[in-house]
Amino acid sequence: MVSHPNPGQPAGPLAGLSILELGGQGPGPFAGMLLADMGATVVKVDRVEQATAWNRDQVATAPMDRGKRSVALNLRHPDGAAVVLGLAERSDVLIDPFRPGVVERLGIGPVPCLAANPALIFARMTGWGQNGPWAQRAGHDINYISLPGALHLLGEEGRAPQAPINVLGDFAGGGFLLAFGVICAAYEARTSGQGQVIDAAMVDGSALVMAPFISGSLRGQWGPRGTNLLDGAAHFYGVYRTADARYLSVGAIEPEFYAALLDGLGLDPVVMGPQWDRDRWPSNKKAVAAAVATRTLDEWTAIFEGTDACVCPVLTPAEAAAHPHIAERHTFVDIDGVIQPGPAPRFSRTTTATPEGPCFPGQHTDQVLADAGLTDVRIEELRRAGVVA
């Protein structure tokens, strides 16, 4: 691998891995954040107009830009494309967040990039993939999870499917999939010394994340949405409203956990009947709801404290950040006054540190270009021509 460590970059298992991220939205920046969190050096290519419009007195706060450096380039200018090729020559990975064909038209597609650097991993992130009848269609997360059957399975019985914000396509099936692909390709390159192109698509990733449920549906072992153990039908697996209009999550699947749940709620096991008698689930769900509605969230939290009933308060993000367990594990970190989820997972030896604050567009243009071998005179020429900012 090419090693261009950033002196300010936290240590981590990916220290020495160099990433060039073409600026985009959602899954591409998220993958770049995951890799930067683990110690990779990530240079983000932003647009010139973003850099010129940025108020330099304004602090950058976007979590997905943390731990990165930013160079502002006009990719539509031939000299801008030439700069990208020069940066790609010095990088281990290039993240392409655009529709199929966009980088090819800009002159920075896989062919010229791999010609400049045969060991480069060209990681492409799209909604529909690089091929197929829908490859050139516009779309968003909700569309990418619709086509492979993932959205069909989500929601309440008898109601329209409910999209889980844009976490399933953009982040779980997109950014995480892309980061996983990069690590796989980087591992293979250790022995082959060769780069390759990664085709990561949210339509594939969302199906993969939902593999047990899609497969179960195809085999007839997973019923319509809202009628199954894990999606709202079971009285011992769901969310219930408390007396103070807060919510309590319940996941008491195993018999011993279920017994602890009924004991804490004060419900008679004989009256409730066998846990797995599905005919009783609707009435038992009403019984559990009625019981939970008699006390506040704090009262239920105290009652179930120290038990294995698998009962947990549904906290707001602000409450979560202050919770003793979350605090002890440093699940949330403070970066320049912005509270946000921190790097994960944890490593015993190649530990990570709190990431540096987010970059603003073009913040490191001169530094990045100088590191790539451009002289001050050449950088100023590019700036006057509107190629960089």
- How do residues 309-344 score in pLDDT, each as one tens digit? 999 999 999 999 999 999 999 999 999 999 999 999
> Is there a domain that residue 1 lies in?
no
Same domain, yes or no, for 169 and 49? Answer: yes
> Is there a domain that residue 330 lies in?
no
Please count the structural domains in the chain: 2
Burial class (CB in 10 A: 0-12, 13-18, 19+), 158: exposed
Report the distance separating Cα 328 and Cα 342, nearest Å: 13
> Is there a domain that residue 132 lies in?
yes
Which one of 140, 323, 366, 371 is the catalytic residue?
140
Q: What CATH number should be reported for the domain holding residue 35?
A: 3.40.50.10540
Residue partners of 14: CB distance under 8 A and separation at least 6: 35, 38, 39, 40
Q: Does residue 268 contact residue 321 with C-beta atoms inside 8 Å?
A: no
Given this model, what pLDDT does residue 4 score? 35
User: Residue 355 sits in which domain range?
Assistant: 18-209+336-384
- pTM of the full structure: 0.93
- Beta bridge mates, 355: none
Q: Is the peptide bond before 358 cis (omega within 30 degrees of 0)?
A: no
Same domain, yes or no, for 41 and 132? Answer: yes
Same domain, yes or no, for 170 and 255? Answer: no
Given a cut of 70, is residue 8 above it in pLDDT?
no
Same domain, yes or no, for 267 and 120? Answer: no
pLDDT digits (tens, 9 = 90+) for 171-207: 999 999 999 999 999 999 999 999 999 999 999 999 9
Report the distance separating Cα 366 and Cα 51, nearest Å: 13
Same domain, yes or no, for 31 and 180? Answer: yes
> Is there a domain that residue 326 lies in?
no
> Is there a domain that residue 329 lies in?
no
pLDDT digits (tens, 9 = 90+) for 104-152: 999 999 999 999 999 999 999 999 999 999 999 999 999 999 999 999 9
Given a cut of 60, is residue 240 above it in pLDDT?
yes
> Is there a domain that residue 159 lies in?
yes
Annotated catalytic residue 170 = yes
Given this model, what pLDDT does residue 353 score? 83
Annotated catalytic residue 4 = no
Burial class (CB in 10 A: 0-12, 13-18, 19+), 177: buried
Same domain, yes or no, for 298 and 160? Answer: no
Same domain, yes or no, for 46 and 145? Answer: yes
The confidence band for 9, taking pLDDT boundaries of 50, 70 and 90, is very low
Domain boundary among 265, 280, 313: 313
* Residue 77 vs residues 73, 85, 107: alpha-carbon distances, Å: 9, 13, 10
> Is there a domain that residue 263 lies in?
yes
Domain boundary among 313, 346, 369: 313
Which one of 46, 65, 96, 170 is the catalytic residue?
170
Given a cut of 50, is residue 358 above it in pLDDT?
yes
Q: Average pLDDT over the chain, rounded to whole? A: 95
Same domain, yes or no, for 290 and 349? Answer: no
Same domain, yes or no, for 186 and 47? Answer: yes
Given a cut of 80, is residue 5 above it in pLDDT?
no
Same domain, yes or no, for 37 and 105? Answer: yes
Same domain, yes or no, for 64 and 165? Answer: yes
* Residue 65 vs residues 94, 201, 371: alpha-carbon distances, Å: 16, 22, 20
> Is there a domain that residue 389 lies in?
no
Residue 299, token pair as written in the block: 């009262």
Q: What CATH number should be reported for the domain holding residue 282?
A: 3.30.1540.10
Same domain, yes or no, for 152 and 67? Answer: yes
